[in-house]
Structure 1
Amino acid sequence: MLFVTSEGVMTMRTRQGTLGILTGVTAVTAAFTLAASLLTVPQARAEEPVIEDHCVGQCSDILPPGQNGNATLADILAHRALGTRPAHSADQLGEYAALETGYRGLTTDTINEFFNDASFGVPEDEVTSRTRPREDVTILRDRLGVPHIYGTTREGTEFGAGYAAAQDRLWLMDVLRHVGRGQLTPFAGGAEGNRSLEQQFFSAAPYTEEELRQQIDRVANSGPRGARGFADAQAYLEGINAYIRDAHRGRYFPGEYVLTGHVDAITNRGEIEPFRLTDLVVIASVIGAQFGAGGGGEVEAAIAKLAIQERYGLERGEEIWRSMREEDDPETVRTLHDGQSFPYGKAPADPQGVAMPDPGSVTRQRLVFDPEGSAESADVPAATVRHGMSNALVVSGRHTESGNPVAVFGPQTGYFAPQLLMLQELQGPGISARGASFAGLSMYVLLGRGQDYAWSATTSAQDVIDTYAVELCEPSGAPATKESNAYRFRGECVPMEVVERRNSWRPTVADGTPAGSYTLRSYRTAYGPVTHRATIEGKPVAYAALRSSFLHEVDSLIGFQLFNDPGAIRSARDFQHAAHEVNFTFNWFYVDADDAAYFNSGDNPVRPSTMDPSLPVHAGLDWQGWNPDGNTADYTPFEQHPNSVNQDYYISWNNALAEDYAAAGYEKSAVHRGDLLDRRVREFVADGTPVTRGNLTRAMAEAGLADLRAERVLPVLLRVLDTAPVTDPAAAAAIEKLRAWLADGGLRTQTRAGSRTYRHADAIRIMDAWWPLLVRAQFEPGLGGAAFTAMTRVLKVDEAPSGVDHRGSAYQAGWWGYVHKDLRAVLGEPVAGPLGDTFCGGGDLAACRQVLVDTVRQAAAQPASEVYPGDEHCSAGDQWCADSIVHQPLGGITHRKIGTQNRPTYQQVVEFASRR
C-alpha cells in the first residue's frame, strides 16, 4: 500500500505469501490509482496515510451512547456515588436522542447536529490522543474517542484494530465469549439475566472446542482469501492480548474484573484470560444467532395448525391455516417492487413428509439439569430470542437533487451499555473503511463506508432453519420412550451427542446473588440440537433444528474482508458478489456516486420440491447434497437470491423481500412497519420531490415516531365505526380522540422537547389499551380459545413501544395485517389474499361494529396505571417512560433513558459526490 512520509516522499510497502491478494496488473493498477490521489496532499505524517475520500463531507453517522465502553474500578465507583461517567461513554447519546423532537427542522446543512461527520481521517485540531502500540501502527482518537487506525503493514493494521477494540470493549468482549459458550454465570455471577443469556445462546450453538477450531481451520485452508483472514485474525488477537497485558500491568483494566472477583483490587493478583481464536468464533456465533439466522418455530406452527384443524376440520382448517401463514401475501410491502420474482421457500401444493405431533404430546427439550443453590429458582426456557431489526432508505440518483444516490440506513442491534457495536476507521494495505463493527469482531468494518461507497444491512430472515423429526430408539432394542436419547439415522440406532457445561458461581459484589450451580446439557443429532420431544402416531420422536450456518459462523469472514478492500469493491456488482460470500441472512444495501444496489445473502439450502419448510418434517427428507459431517449442502446460486441495481428506491424494515420469496415468520402481511418507510419515500418519487439527505432523514425519523396501528389500521377501524352513529358517550369521546390523533399524523411525539408528555396522550393510551382487547374480541370467537392462543404463540398480538421492554424496536410483529384484511372483508372491500374466514362479528357488519364500540369503550375506561403498570425503570402510569429506551447495562456504567425512536442503533446518512 502507498503512504506519504512527513517529507512528502511516496513509499510502497507490500506483503507476500498468504497476505498477497493483488498481483500483476491488478496490483500495479491499484498502486498507481492510489498514488495519484495521494500526490495531491503532501503534508501527511508517515504513520497517517492520506486516503481518497469521495464523500467530501457528505457522510455522517451516529452510535449511542458513546465510543468508550471500558470503565476502571474508580470510574464505576464514582459513577455509583456521584453519577459521573468516563469520557466518551455517553457523548453521542444526546444528539441521537435529540432527533426525536428536532427532526422537523432538520436540513441537509444541519444533519450533523444529530449525527457526526464520518469523513476519513482526523483534523489535527481534533486529535485527542495518539498511540503507537507497536512500530507499524498508529491509533488516533478523535474528539468523540473514535479510533482511527493506520498501519504501515497489514499485520500492524489488524494488531491496532485488536488493541483499540480491547481499549473500548474488553469487558463486553469477555462477556460475549462466555455467553456463547454457555458459561456466563461462572464468569459474571448467577443473576437471573446471566442465566437466561447463557441458556439462550448455548441452546442455539452448543459447540465443542474442537468444533470451534475446525471452523477456523476450514476457512484458513479455503484459499488465498481464507488464508488472509486467518492471518488477520491472528494479528487482531495479538492486539487484544497486548492491551490486556498493558492494562493489567498499569491497573487501568475494566473495573468489572474486580467486582466479579477475577482480579484483586489491592494486590492486582488474578487473571484476565487471554483471547484465543476460538473466542472469535464464539462471538461470531452469538451475533449470527441473534441477527442473521432466519427460520425455526416449526413445532409451534404445527401446534397452531392442529388447533385450527381441531376447530374447523382438516380441509377447512388447512385453508384457514394457510391464509394466516401468509408466506407470500400479495398485499405486503416488498423491498423489490419492480415485478422481480425470486421463488424460494414456499410450501408445495401437496407437501410430503410433514411430521405433525400428536395433539398434546409436545414438550420442550429440557436444558437445565441438577440445579443447586440459587439456580433452583430459575430454569429459563431454552429458546434463542431473535429479533429482525434495522432499516434502510435508499434512493437512486435519478430521483435525488444531486443526481447521486442517497442513503439513510443502519442496523438496529438494541441498546446496551456499552453498545454491542463500536466505531472505527481502518487504513492499511488492502483495507480502507470506516464504520461500525461488533465488539470482538472488529478486525474489519462490518457496516460502514469505503473510499467511494457505503453499505449497510438489515435482517432478512428468510428461512434457513428446518425442523426434523427423528424417531427415538433404544440401542438395547427395548421400547423407546420420549426420554430415550438415541435415534434412528440412516437405518441405525445411534446415540445422541451430549454437550455439557457444568456451571457454578460464587456470590459476587457485582450482582449480589448467592452461590449456585447447574448443568446445561444439549442433546444433538445429525440434524442439529434437539428442541422438543413428542409422539407421532404414538411413536416417540425428537424434533431437531437444522440451521444452514450451524458449524459455519466463520464462513462470512470472506465477505466482510471484501467489503473493506478498495481493490475488490469497484462497482455495485462487485459488492453484490462480496455479499454473496456472507452466509448469514441479511439484506445488503450499497451506494456509490452512480449506483444504488441491493442483495439478499444467506446459505439458502436447496430443499426437496415436496418439502414444506414452514412445518416439521420427517428425517430423511434431507436438503440436496446434505452431508451431516460438517453440515454442508447445496445452496441456491447468486442469481436466485433477490438482487437489484438502480431500482427507483429501496426500503427495508425487515419486511418481505420480493415476490415469491417466502420469508420466515407470519407478520409480513397487508400491514407491516415497512409501510411507514415505503409510503414516505414513494411519495417523494411519485410527486417528483428531489430527494436530499435532509428530507430522507426526516422521512426516516417521522416513520420512527409513527404508530403503525394508527397510520395503517385506524382508518379502516373508523370506516367500520362510521357505518352508523356511535350513541355510547364514552365510546364516542374515545373515537373522536383517536380521529384527532390520526388527523395530526398518528405520531408518538412529545408536546415539546423534554416535556415527557405526549401530544394526544389520551388517544395513545386508548390505542395501547384497545389493541389487545380488539384482537381477542375480533378473532377468538371464530378461532376458539385453543387455536387463538396457539396462534398468539406463533405471532404476538401487539408490539407497541410500551410493550418491548425498553428495547426501542417496535411494530415488527403483530396482528396488524389480520385485523386490516378481516375488517375490509366485513366491509365488502376488495382483499387480495384474504383470510380463510371472516372473523369480526362472524362476518356481520353490524355485529362487527358493535365489537369495535364495546372494546374501545373498555379501553377508554382503563386508567393509565393499568395500561402502563410500571417496572424497575418506570412508575405505574408514566406513559412516556413506558415507551422510553433504556440502555441495558452489560457492565458497571448506566445511562439516562431517552424517548422512543423506532430507528437503527447505528445509522449512516451518505451521499457520494464522485468515485474512483
Structure 2
Amino acid sequence: MPRCTPRTTLDRLRTPRRFPKFLKAVSICVLVAGLLTPVTQAAAAGGTAGIAANDYCGGRCSDILPPGENGNATLAQILLNQVFGTQPDHAEDQLGPYSNLAAGYSTLTDDKINTFFNDASFGVASDQVASTTRPGGRTDVTIVRDKKSGVPHITGTTRYGTEYGAGFAAAQDRLWLMDVFRHVGRGQLTSFAGGAPSNQGLEQEFWRNAPYTEADLQAQIDSATANAGARGTQALADANAYLDGINAYIDASDSGRYFPGEYVLTGHKDAITNAGTIDHFKLTDLVALASVIGALFGSGGGGEVNNALSLLAAQSQYGVTEGTRVWESFRERNDPEAVLTVHNGESFPYATKPDTAQGEALPDAGSVAQEPLVYDRTGSAGTAKATGASATAAATTLTSAKRGMSNALVVSGEATASGHPIAVFGPQTGYFAPQLLMLQEIQGPGLSARGASFAGLSMYVELGRGQDYSWSATTSGQDIIDTYAVELCQDDFHYLYHGTCTAMDKVERSNSWKPTTADGTAAGSYRMQVYRTKYGPVEYRATVGGKKVAYTTLRSSYMHEADSIIGFQMLNDPDYVKSPATFQSAVQHINYTFNWFYADSAHTAYYNSGDNPVRASGVDAEFPVWAQAPYEWQNWDPATNTAAYTPASAHPNSTDQDYYISWNNKQAKDYTTAPWGDGSVHRGNLLEDRVKKLVAAGGVTRSSLTRAMADAALADLRAEDVLPKLLQVVRSSPVTDTTAAAAVTKLSDWVTAGARRKETSAGSKTYGNADAIRILDAWWPLLVKAEFTPGLGTDLYTAFTANLPVDESPSAAHGPTGAHAGSSFQYGWWSYVDKDIRAVLGRPVQGGLAQKYCGGGSLSACRDILISTLKTASGLTAAQVYPGDDQCSAGDQWCADSIVQRALGGIKHGRITWQNRPTYQQVVEYTSHR
C-alpha cells in the first residue's frame, strides 16, 4: 500500500511540478472519508441572519482581500488543486474581482464598486446565508458565513462566547498558517515543516530580531495585562477565550479528520490511521505570532551601522567636511520637497540632526563584521561553523510582505459630492496563499467591527470598520530602533555596563528535520544563537578607535509586542470610539510604527503611532552611539525595556484636513523618518497629484477616489515623474542617432499615453507601449550608474546603494521586494536623479544634492551619458531584460511583472496582472452617525 505520510517541507508544497511524482505515493489518500468537507461548515437550511441595525454606512462600505477567505484545505483538496487546479470553496473567489479592477477602473461608477469589492455591511441577508455554525455546540455564539465570500460573521451574546467564536473561525480559515507563524516566531519552523532553505531563511530573518525565550514571551503577557488595568484584564480573558475556540476546532477537525492537509504532507498526521497530533495553541503562541507581525510591519528604524559605513566612504572620497555634506544630501533626512501626509505646514520635529553630535561611535574602517546567527552542528558543541543559510531564501517568501507597503486616500466632506468624507485605504501585506490577513465580522458585548486581522491575532478586528467609522493604517517607519556600541571586556562575550564587566546572555535555538521522500531533502540540523545585552541583541562586531565593541540593536517595541492589544481592543469597542479624538486616543496605545487614518460621516483624522523614545541631548539617531549612561534613552530601564516616549501631541496628527494621502511617505514637516529616499520624487506623489486635482475640482465620489487609487496603481513612477526631465536633456540638441531617436519617440509616446503599465485589453497579458516599458526597465539602472559613479566613485556609489537600491520596478527580482510581489517604487534613486537632472537643466532645486553629477554638471556631457546608456538599453532584448524564472519564460514582460500568491501551504493560485495597491482595501462613505 502506498505510504500516506511522507514528510515534506513548505518548499515541497511550493513546487507544483513535483506533485505528480508525489501523487503516486498518496493517491489512495483521496479515498479517506471526511477529507473533503468539514462537517462544521455544512450549509444550514433556513438561516435567518439579517442586516444589522447598528450599521451607519448605508450600504456604502466595501472591502476586498485576495485570494479568498478560506485558507485551509484538506489533503484531498490540496491534491486536486495541484493536479487539476480546482479550488476549495472561497479559496480564490476574491482574487478575480481584485485583479479585474486594473482593467475596469476607468469606467467605474458607484453602483459598480461591489463588482470589484465585497459589500462590507454588517450582517448577512437571509437569502445570502451559506452556513450557520454553533462552535463547540455553544448557545452563546453563532458563526454565519455568507455565500459570496464565505466571510465569518460572529455574533455572541456573551463576551467569552464571542471571542471563542472568533478563535474557532480563525482556525477554520487559517489553522495551518497560524501554526507556521507560531513556529517562525520561535525560530522553530524547520523542525516543524522541514529543512528547505526557504524555511531556514524565514526563521532566521525573524528570530534574529526577536530572540525570545518562553519566559520572555510569558513576561510580555504579564506586563501587557498588568499595566493596563481593567482593559488588560479583559484582554487576557479575551485571549484565553479565543484560544479555547482555536483548540476546540483543532479537536473537532482531528476527530472529524478534516484538518488541513499540510499536516499530513509534513508528517504530523497520518491520513490512514489518523495517528499524530496537532498541538493546542497557548497564550505565548500569540506573542510569538505578534513578534513576527511587529517585525514585518511595525518596527521602523535601524540601519545605523550601514549609515556609518556610507558616511565613512563619503569622507574617504571627499574629505570629512565635504564628504559629510555629500552624505547628508543623499540621506534627505528632512527634504523640503518631500510629499507630506500632514501638508498644512505644521511641524513635528523628531530625530532631527543635532547641531553637534554627542557620543557617536563610528567604526574603524574595515573593522565591521556581521554577527553570525547560524551554525552547523557537527556533533561537538564547541565546533560550530557559521553557515549562510539564506537571507536570500527568505527574500522569496515573507520579505515581500516586509517591503510591500500600504496606502491611504482620505477626502474631507467639503470636497465630496455627498458632503460626507470618503476613504479608499488599506494595508499592503504582500500576496500569499493563504493570505496573512483574514476577514471577519465580530459582534458581541463591547465588540462591534468588521474587517481584517492577522491570522492567529483575530480576537479583534485590526483594520476595518466599526458601527459608524472606518480606520486603516500604513507603515510609517519612523525611527524607534537605535544602535549602541558596547565596549567589550575580558573576552568577546562580556561588555561594560555602567563600568561593570557584564556577561552577555546567549540564547540558542536548535532545529533538526527528517529526510523527505519526494524532493530529496536530506535530514539535517543546525542551530541559531544570539548574544543579548541590556542594550539589545548583538548585530555586528567592530572596533571603534581601536577598542573592540559589539554593536547592539535596541528598539522600543522589543519585549513589548503584546502591548498593542489594548489599542486594538479600543478600536473594536463601540462605546469607546465615537469621534476623531477617541480614535486618536485608541491608536496611541499601539506601539508599532503606523500611520492611522479615520473617517466617519462628518470627520476625518490621522495619527502616527509608535513608542518614540526620547533620546539624550545631542544624540544623532542616524549613527551608532556609545553604550554609556549619558547617551541612553531618557528614563530607560533595561530590566523592562521602557523609557520616556515623546507625548502624543508630538506625533504627527491632524483632524479634518482637506485630504490625506499616504504611501509610506514622509509624515509631516521636520519629522525625520528612517527610510532613505523621502525626497522630491516618491510614490506618494502618484497619490498626491491625483487626489489634489480631485479635491480642487470638488464633487469627489467613492468611484472617482477609487479610480484615482487604481490609476496610481498602474503608474510607473519613473516614467511619470522623472522620464520627462530625462527626455528634455536628451532633446536639448537634435537626436541624430537613429537608435536613440527611435527610443526617444517610444518613450515620449508612452509618457503622453499616461506612463502606465497597463494591458492593451483585459486579459491580453500584453502591455500597451511594451517597447517603451522594456527600454525604461533596461535604461534606469544603466543611467543611474553612469550618472553618479564618475562623481561618487565606485566605493561610495556601492555604499549608497546598500542604503537605498537604485530600482524597484515591478519586474525587479533584484530589488528589496523581490519578484512577483506587486508593491513597487518604494525604494529607488528617483529623487536623486530628479534633483540632479533639474540642477543640470538649470531649474531651481530645494534641498539639492551637494554636487551636480550627470556629466559633471555639463548639459552636453550629461546628454552624452543619457544617449549612450539609452542606446545600450534599447539594444537589450526582452529576454535579457526579463530573463525568466520559475514562473515565467524569458522575455515575457507581463509575466515578469505579474503578481503571484506565494504559497505558504499546499494550495496554489494563478498569476494576476500587476497593480501597485493594498492587499486588503476598503472603500467607505458613512451616511450617518450615532
Relative to structure 1, is the Cα distance of residues 381 and 485 closer, same or farther in structure 2, using a 3 angstrom cutoff?
farther
Unaligned runs of 5+ in 1: 1-43, 475-479
Aligned AA (2:134): R
Give CA deviations for 1:538-575 in whole Å, capped at 9, x if unaligned. Answer: 21111101000000001100100000000001101100
2:371 is the counterpart of 1:365: yes
Aligned residue for 2:153, secondary structure, equals: strand
Q: 1:429 aligns with which of 445, 460, 474?
A: 445
State the alpha-carbon separation in 2 of the partners of residues 271 and 717 from structure 1. 62
State the alpha-carbon separation in 1 of the partners of residues 56 and 634 from structure 2. 45
**Cα shift at 1:537:** 1.6
Relative to structure 1, is the Cα distance of residues 574 and 812 closer, same or farther in structure 2, using a 3 angstrom cutoff?
same
Aligned residue for 2:134, secondary structure, equals: strand
Other-structure match for 1:593: 601
Other-structure match for 2:459: 443
| 8 A contact 2:448–2:573 mirrored in 1 | yes
List aligned pairs for 1:796-811, cutoff 5 A: 796-803=805-812, 804-811=818-825
Aligned AA (1:743): T
Relative to structure 1, is the Cα distance of residues 511 and 646 closer, same or farther in structure 2, using a 3 angstrom cutoff?
farther
Decide which moves more: 378-387 or 713-722: 378-387
State the alpha-carbon separation in 2 of the partners of residues 183 and 826 from structure 1. 54
Relative to structure 1, is the Cα distance of residues 164 and 509 closer, same or farther in structure 2, using a 3 angstrom cutoff?
farther
Other-structure match for 2:670: 660
Other-structure match for 1:906: 920
State the alpha-carbon separation in 2 of the partners of residues 494 and 445 from structure 1. 44
Other-structure match for 1:569: 577
Other-structure match for 1:776: 785
State the alpha-carbon separation in 1 of the partners of residues 838 and 561 from structure 2. 45
**Cα shift at 1:266:** 1.2
2:308 is the counterpart of 1:314: no
State the alpha-carbon separation in 2 of the partners of residues 667 and 884 from structure 1. 25
| 8 A contact 1:47–1:137 mirrored in 2 | no
Give CA deviations for 1:587-616 in whole Å, capped at 9, x if unaligned. Answer: 000000000110000000000120110111
| 8 A contact 1:51–1:451 mirrored in 2 | no
Give CA deviations for 1:332-383 in whole Å, capped at 9, x if unaligned. Answer: 100010011100011212111111111111111100112469x998522499
List aligned pairs for 1:388-537, cutoff 5 A: 389-474=405-490, 480=491, 484-508=492-516, 512-537=520-545
State the alpha-carbon separation in 1 of the partners of residues 603 and 310 from structure 2. 45
Other-structure match for 1:30: none
**Cα shift at 1:776:** 0.2
State the alpha-carbon separation in 2 of the partners of residues 46 and 352 from structure 1. 67
Q: 1:633 aligns with which of 643, 646, 651?
A: 643
2:695 is the counterpart of 1:685: yes
State the alpha-carbon separation in 2 of the partners of residues 697 and 579 from structure 1. 26
**Cα shift at 1:498:** 0.8
Aligned AA (1:84): T
| 8 A contact 2:224–2:560 mirrored in 1 | no
State the alpha-carbon separation in 1 of the partners of residues 641 and 590 from structure 2. 16
Other-structure match for 1:141: 145
State the alpha-carbon separation in 2 of the partners of residues 154 and 443 from structure 1. 11
Aligned AA (1:105): T
State the alpha-carbon separation in 2 of the partners of residues 48 and 151 from structure 1. 15
Aligned residue for 1:650, secondary structure, equals: strand
List aligned pairs for 1:102-121, cutoff 5 A: 102-121=104-123
Relative to structure 1, is the Cα distance of residues 509 and 158 closer, same or farther in structure 2, using a 3 angstrom cutoff?
farther
Counting aligned pairs with the same residue, the percent is 62
| 8 A contact 1:177–1:282 mirrored in 2 | yes
Q: 1:253 aligns with which of 249, 252, 259?
A: 259
State the alpha-carbon separation in 1 of the partners of residues 103 and 287 from structure 2. 41
Relative to structure 1, is the Cα distance of residues 690 and 747 closer, same or farther in structure 2, using a 3 angstrom cutoff?
same
Give CA deviations for 1:709-739 in whole Å, capped at 9, x if unaligned. Answer: 0000011112211211111110111011000
Give CA deviations for 1:80-122 in whole Å, capped at 9, x if unaligned. Answer: 2222121100011100000111111111110011111000000
State the alpha-carbon separation in 1 of the partners of residues 520 and 668 from structure 2. 50
Aligned residue for 2:722, secondary structure, equals: helix
State the alpha-carbon separation in 2 of the partners of residues 328 and 511 from structure 1. 51
Aligned residue for 1:553, secondary structure, equals: coil
Aligned AA (1:850): D
| 8 A contact 1:260–1:509 mirrored in 2 | no
List aligned pairs for 1:199-238, cutoff 5 A: 199-222=204-227, 223-238=229-244
Relative to structure 1, is the Cα distance of residues 583 and 436 closer, same or farther in structure 2, using a 3 angstrom cutoff?
same
| 8 A contact 1:71–1:893 mirrored in 2 | yes
| 8 A contact 1:294–1:585 mirrored in 2 | yes
| 8 A contact 1:219–1:230 mirrored in 2 | no
State the alpha-carbon separation in 2 of the partners of residues 378 and 244 from structure 1. 36
| 8 A contact 1:259–1:510 mirrored in 2 | no
TM-score where L is the length of structure 2: 0.91
State the alpha-carbon separation in 2 of the partners of residues 187 and 381 from structure 1. 19
| 8 A contact 2:512–2:524 mirrored in 1 | yes
State the alpha-carbon separation in 2 of the partners of residues 540 and 835 from structure 1. 35
State the alpha-carbon separation in 2 of the partners of residues 49 and 551 from structure 1. 42
Aligned AA (1:683): K
| 8 A contact 2:652–2:668 mirrored in 1 | yes
Decide which moves more: 296-305 or 418-427: 296-305
| 8 A contact 1:345–1:662 mirrored in 2 | yes
Other-structure match for 1:891: 905
Aligned AA (1:590): Y
Decide which moves more: 233-242 or 71-80: 71-80
Decide which moves more: 436-445 or 798-807: 798-807
Other-structure match for 1:852: 866
Give CA deviations for 1:623-673 in whole Å, capped at 9, x if unaligned. Answer: 000000010000011111100001000000000000000000111011000
State the alpha-carbon separation in 2 of the partners of residues 537 and 451 from structure 1. 60
**Cα shift at 1:46:** 9.9
Relative to structure 1, is the Cα distance of residues 92 and 510 closer, same or farther in structure 2, using a 3 angstrom cutoff?
farther
TM-score where L is the length of structure 1: 0.93
Relative to structure 1, is the Cα distance of residues 774 and 168 closer, same or farther in structure 2, using a 3 angstrom cutoff?
same
Unaligned runs of 5+ in 2: 1-45, 380-384, 813-817
| 8 A contact 1:219–1:226 mirrored in 2 | yes
State the alpha-carbon separation in 2 of the partners of residues 871 and 524 from structure 1. 40
Aligned AA (2:255): R
State the alpha-carbon separation in 2 of the partners of residues 422 and 554 from structure 1. 20
State the alpha-carbon separation in 2 of the partners of residues 377 and 221 from structure 1. 41
List aligned pairs for 1:65-214, cutoff 5 A: 65-133=67-135, 134-143=138-147, 144-214=149-219
List aligned pairs for 1:23-62, cutoff 5 A: 50-62=52-64
Aligned residue for 2:208, secondary structure, equals: helix
**Cα shift at 1:51:** 3.8
**Cα shift at 1:45:** 9.2
Aligned AA (1:232): D
Aligned residue for 1:534, secondary structure, equals: strand
**Cα shift at 1:180:** 0.6
Other-structure match for 1:766: 775
Give CA deviations for 1:447-505 in whole Å, capped at 9, x if unaligned. Answer: 0000000000000000000011111121xxxxx4xxx1111111111111111111001
State the alpha-carbon separation in 1 of the partners of residues 615 and 96 from structure 2. 49
Aligned residue for 1:128, secondary structure, equals: strand
Decide which moves more: 573-582 or 499-508: 499-508
| 8 A contact 2:226–2:232 mirrored in 1 | yes
Other-structure match for 1:822: 836
